[in-house]
Amino acid sequence: MKSKSARFVLVAISFLFASALSAQHMKTHYDRSANFAQYKTYSWEQVETRDPLDVDRIKSAVNAALAAKGWTRVESGGDVWIVAIEGGCRWRGFGAFGPTTDRYEDRTLTVDLETKTKKLLWRGSSTDRLSHNSDKNIKNLDKGVEKLFKKFPPSSYDEAQVELLSRISHATRQ
């Protein structure tokens, strides 16, 4: 009985580990001194990918995310330039009982927003596991970019600080 329980626990842990590895991972950071309210237009400077078909997909996903935030794309001379680089790595899996024959390929998309003077304002990166299904990969790319820009543009204050400042402002007006 202990053998079956131990085996079940190992299998369960393997599934949890595998699902954690296949989830999208996001990171964003930005110049805390930047006033993002002054930027409303952007132009594409560069998109680097391993697959030329991904260039338009990446641009489309980022364009949609920024349009939803009220930003406007211009062919040249935007307030901000965008550089997007897609990279990845391949590796062999490791199962609960040793190496497996499974091979994985991860994709990392890094999107930089820079001023005209090439000063980095904001950087976001999204990493996900590629599938053999192209439609799924496109959907994951769109979802990853949407998540990257969810809290864009960044605020100088977090939600708790905004609430506190609102209360103070309201109290002083009374």
pLDDT of res. 54: 92
Average pLDDT on 81-98 reads: 72
pLDDT in tens, 104-144: 578 899 999 999 899 999 999 999 888 888 899 899 999 99
Residue 163 lies in a domain: no
Residue 21 lies in a domain: yes
Q: Is the pLDDT of residue 94 over 80?
A: no
Residue 168 lies in a domain: no
pLDDT of res. 17: 42
| Domain harbouring 62, CATH code | 3.30.160.670
pLDDT of res. 131: 81
Residue 165 lies in a domain: no
Q: pTM of the predicted model, to two decimals? A: 0.70
Residue 166 lies in a domain: no
C-beta of residue 142 within 8 angstroms of C-beta of residue 61: yes
pLDDT of res. 87: 83
pLDDT of res. 90: 57
How much is the mean pLDDT over the chain? 79
Residue type, 52: P
Residue 40 lies in a domain: yes
Please tell me the total count of domains within the chain: 1
Residue 96 lies in a domain: yes
What range defines the domain where residue 50 resides?
2-156
Residue 171 lies in a domain: no
